Structure 1
Amino acid sequence: MTAGKSARLDRIGTGGKYLVVPMDHGVTMGAVDGLVDLESTVSDITDGGADAVLTQRGVADRVHPNLGGAGYIVHLNGSTTIGPDEADKRPTGTVEDAIRAGADAVSFHINVGSDHEPDQITGLSEVTSAAQRYGLPVLAMTYARGHDVRDDDPELFAEDLGHAVRLGEELGADVVKTAYSGSPETFERVVESTSLPVVIAGGSRGTDEETLDMVRGAMDAGGAGVSMGRSIFQHEDPRAITQAVSKVVHDDAEAADALREVGLTVEA
């Protein structure tokens, strides 16, 4: 690993652990709650201890003044919920575009097992090759989504997720993101499938305790943190929930303890 890449990984994480907040949903879903006043949300999240914020390149000028020293990741593909196929993520920029936007790293989404897997494998390979030339880290969002993905069985789903994260490593990524398989026991299978740091997606927003329990489970299984969007940026108190997640990821806190420490309600 080059000194430049190592330095940039340090800017998007802390001690090999990652609390990344993706906020690229404006492409996917439009100006949803939490993204209208992007500046305030970024400020709240970074004040709360996020290691990095992730957006599409076009809003970089709204992000940088509010980062407060946190890292910045530019996402390089996307699709919309109102388009013909949300799984068909298409390129939205290049590594060079991301560098011009002030990125410390780039990310790319691939749906392993989908009809679009072949094109997305090509796309991720091109991104990692270009990023390598500049010493720029790549966060590969490697989801297992497709006709033959076995998501109705947690153990088999963990195998498919393990395949997805291993694909990310094989194609040259530096950090991989995927779904949580549902338990620490099954997620260990995912983490063991790659030598790279594995971070989990937030998924559908649940209660604060459900969110923190999921994070705790991933960390107990050897995960390296989270790349969690709506559960944080659409929270009633983005700063507090970021603080709580940070306590689990970076301070090894239990879920209920983290919620109490930041003043969020723990269910009886």
Structure 2
Amino acid sequence: MLIDGLSLLWRQSNWLRQAVGNQRCWFARGNGGIACSAARAARRWHGSMPSAAPSHLPPDRSGISAPPCPSIGRHRRTGSCAAAGCQSGAQAWSLVTDSLVVHVHPKEAQMEATGRDRRLRRLWGSVSGRTVLMPIDQPVTMGPIAGLDAIDAQLTRLLAGAPNAIIGHRGVLRRVPAEAARSTSVVMHLSAGTALSGRGHVKKLTGDVVEAVQLGADAVSVQVTFGVPEETDMLHDLAQVAAGCSRWGMPLLAMVYVAGIDPAEAPEKIAHGARAAAELGSDIVKVPYTGSADSFATVVAGCFAPVVMAGGEPSDSWEDVLLDVKDALSAGAAGVCIGRKVQQHSAPDEALADLHALVHANNLG
């Protein structure tokens, strides 16, 4: 039996040597049965095949380059081609040469959405495509502020208003009731600093993407404060988290602030910070309102990632808050990210209902 098995392996390897000849090959690991074709099928499935492995293709986990394929990373790793409708599985073998293509297709068809896509979809209203986010991370910076001091009771009340997602640190997110988490997504905040230092706007990383995955988070967030000496450190942290998000399929929200300015007087600086956050890999960018629909529109236009409006300091006039929200949405905002103005409202669930009515309205006119 051993001799028969070795003989079979020899015949298979001899067939591959004859088929491939002296040409260079690339492999990606997987499971399934073999299907192969010669140059005509290779051109039909993949178009013109390159004579050398493209330098931009990242190596897979085995350290061997993935096969060339004009599609997204998932298909490059599997050796399938979305443009040709190839339904390859998540870990298919693929061998590519100038004259031969050998595929290995698992039986299951691939799912169209990636993990990142599915997580992002949970953050948006299914009809409006916009979002109502509520940060509850403020006590790390400010202490047990009104509206978040008795956290267990107040969480229940706030979640009754069904924000699309809440943003908090690990300790509070672990206290979110399981039944509430079914209707409200959770975003784990990964940076912190306290007012006790006198420089609470300077943030350091306090968690990572792997922990957020373990926690079951739908996204992560990081704050960057521009215009301070530590700006480059925070940008480095944002980039590091963005790299982790790419590896794990986790959406990233960047909270962007510029120190020492009134956003209404320097909207171009808010636009600069927003664009920098998007350039470094953020999927959503939160910025303060710049005082007018026209100026906020310049921020939105200059940032290719969706922009959401921050709430800022508590306001005596809820009507003014709603007017700002309406103007931001008319300028192209993808939603709001409002915390204290809701949490310190006399009726937080009603305040959230007002935000839902504006943000998820089909007609903002």
Question: Retained in 2: the 8 A contact 1:38–1:63?
Answer: no
Question: In 2, Cα distance between the equivalents of 1:39 and 1:102?
Answer: 20
Cα gap change, 1:27 to 1:70, in 2 (>3 Å):
same
Cα gap change, 1:231 to 1:152, in 2 (>3 Å):
closer
Residue 95 (structure 1) aligned with residue 209 (structure 2): yes
Alignment root-mean-square deviation, CA: 1.9
Determine the structure 1 residue equivalent to 2:121: 10
Question: Retained in 2: the 8 A contact 1:106–1:136?
Answer: yes
- The structure that is helix-richer by fraction is 1
Q: Which runs of 5+ in 2 are unaligned?
A: 1-71, 73-112
- Greater relative contact order (Cα < 8 A, sep 6+): 1
Matched position secondary structure for 2:289? coil
Residue 230 (structure 1) aligned with residue 340 (structure 2): yes
Determine the structure 1 residue equivalent to 2:280: 171
Question: In 1, Cα distance between the equivalents of 2:182 and 2:218?
Answer: 14
Question: Retained in 2: the 8 A contact 1:60–1:102?
Answer: no
Question: In 2, Cα distance between the equivalents of 1:87 and 1:177?
Answer: 15
Residue 50 (structure 1) aligned with residue 163 (structure 2): yes
Matched position secondary structure for 1:251? coil
AA partner of residue 17 (structure 1): R
Q: Which runs of 5+ in 1 are unaligned?
A: 256-268
The aligned runs of 1:114-133 (5 Å cut-off) are 114-133=228-247
Matched position secondary structure for 2:174? helix
Larger Rg over CA atoms: 2
Determine the structure 2 residue equivalent to 1:219: 329
AA partner of residue 70 (structure 1): T
Determine the structure 2 residue equivalent to 1:19: 132
The aligned runs of 1:78-89 (5 Å cut-off) are 78-89=192-203
Question: Retained in 1: the 8 A contact 2:278–2:285?
Answer: yes
Number of residue pairs the alignment of both structures matches: 250
AA partner of residue 87 (structure 1): H
Question: In 2, Cα distance between the equivalents of 1:203 and 1:85?
Answer: 17
Question: Does 102-111 or 244-253 show the bigger shift?
Answer: 244-253
Question: Retained in 2: the 8 A contact 1:14–1:51?
Answer: yes
Question: Retained in 2: the 8 A contact 1:71–1:104?
Answer: yes
Shift of 1:44: 2.7
Query: Structure 1 length as normaliser, TM-score?
Result: 0.87
Shift of 1:39: 3.0
Query: Structure 2 length as normaliser, TM-score?
Result: 0.65
Matched position secondary structure for 1:63? coil
The aligned runs of 1:184-199 (5 Å cut-off) are 184-199=293-308
